[in-house]
Chains A and B, each alone.
Chain A
Amino acid sequence: MKPLALLPLALLAACSQEPAKPNVRIDDVWARAVAPGQTSGAAYMTIVNDGDAPDRLTRVNVSLAKMTMLHGTEIKGDVASMAMVDGVDVPAEGKAELKPGGTHVMMTGLTVPLSPGDRFFVDLEFAKSGKKTIGGKVVAAGER
């Protein structure tokens, strides 16, 4: 066999040895409008991972709020409660949804009211993909 014929095989081997990486993008970032004087709100989003390695959302921050936390709503029996969560796993070639009634971005001490049409930014930090900032939109309370 000629050495040249081995080249594609060698390339293939080199490719497969490349470490798996997550490829994370964030879609559909939104928050529900809050009432005047109401200082806590929630934001939601879909985190899509096209990469071949999982990642994990570890931190969130919304500058409009004094404190931002990752929260999970849990319904046990018929009782709903919220608890802080350490992070949100984003599977390889999969997605994680932060949605109403589930894991969400909890904002407390909102410094401005959130009105329909307002824009805001969320800073996110992933274990592997690092920091990302993404824009979101405030929707009317009854819309979604």
Chain B
Amino acid sequence: MDEKFDAIIVGAGMAGNAAAYQLAKAGLQVVLIERGPNPGSKNLSGGVLYGRSLERLMPDFWQTAPVERAVTNHIISFISGEAYFNVDFKTGIFGRAPYNGFTVLRARFDRWMASRAEDAGAMLVTGIKVEKLLREGNRVAGVVAGEDELRADVVIAADGAAAFIPQEAGLRERIPAGHIAMGIKEVIGLPREVIEDRFHLAGNEGTAYSIVGFATQGVAGGGFLYTNLDTLSIGLVINLEELLASRLRPEAILDDFMSHPMVTPLIKGGKPLEFGAHLVPEGGTQMMPRLVSGGMLVVGDAAGLTVNNGFSVRGMDLAIESGIAAAEAVVEAKSKQDFSAAGLSIYEKKMEKSNVMADMHTYARAARFLKKERLYHAYPEFLSSLMTNIYRQDASPKMHLLPELMKSLKTSKLSLFDLVRDGWEGVHSL
């Protein structure tokens, strides 16, 4: 293959597929390279696919895409050793078109999305790994993939959280452990009807749990549990720096989480189908690489585009949005035949104006807030003690809520000052 492409996209995940589809639709010659035997075979979902960015690219995608369930039920669960306190929210609005978000399984979903890009005219190459970048002067000019040298005006790095390509291009430094998390998950099989009964779902409705507290044995991070059609995705996202400091083994934390009394009845009788791990960027704007250099753009997880505010963990919708923006920038750069860093900087401008960066800035302080040790020890215990006291009937006389709260606070490791300050910071960072 010695022809020259308009664009080479490294990685057929959400961002790469979105960019490939958009570029092919605009009539550009684009090749999408995936190292896995199929698109999605190296990818894991640890979140909900919020639908707005994909809908912009592929209207009514849910009618044909292999989505699992439309998430109608959002549950935040604070767990301590043997208690839990859930905030359980459900709305029918999220269960109707245009739907708020879906659970997805990436092996199926990414394959479908890549095939849409192929239908639009993109060339998909699977089972081939990009070994390194080709350069001409100080700009990126293509890639070495397997045995072949492929050249293009632009290389789009959509190679995921480990971001080896942007590192090779000098766009990002080695990723510090504090800026990344380990996602670890199991997929568990259960009959459809069991899932629907157990999680109070009708039809294709779905539940997303976000679990804070002893899920991670005090290590900064949280648990998740999502209902798919006939499987559950259950796992943890654990800050790597904190995991290293704890010296705990990640799969042991996962095992303990799965045997917590809040979790066991939810996964009971399930058949383990898959065990996986993946890095999750969580350094926010601090960890973002430069997005553009001569002949190269960085998108999706490789660009560190994730938002976690404790309620929702987002990455896939941001990845799609960045893929669309990158494709639009390449189309404009092509019309001017300027693929220098300056010519491609349209991408940065588009991103800065997008909802992606707006949300990245809004939640810039969320990651630091969510690292507070109190969230993982003191608060779950305080909540558990407060609720226990509210419901317990014993020989002692009952108290009103305020003195009850002060009593639980006194026996906890929290001060009133902590509560007020964390509450204030919480409502401003999350």
Mutual binders A and B: no
Residues of chain A touching chain B, judged by Cβ–Cβ distance below 8 Å, are none
B interface vs A, CB < 8 Å? none
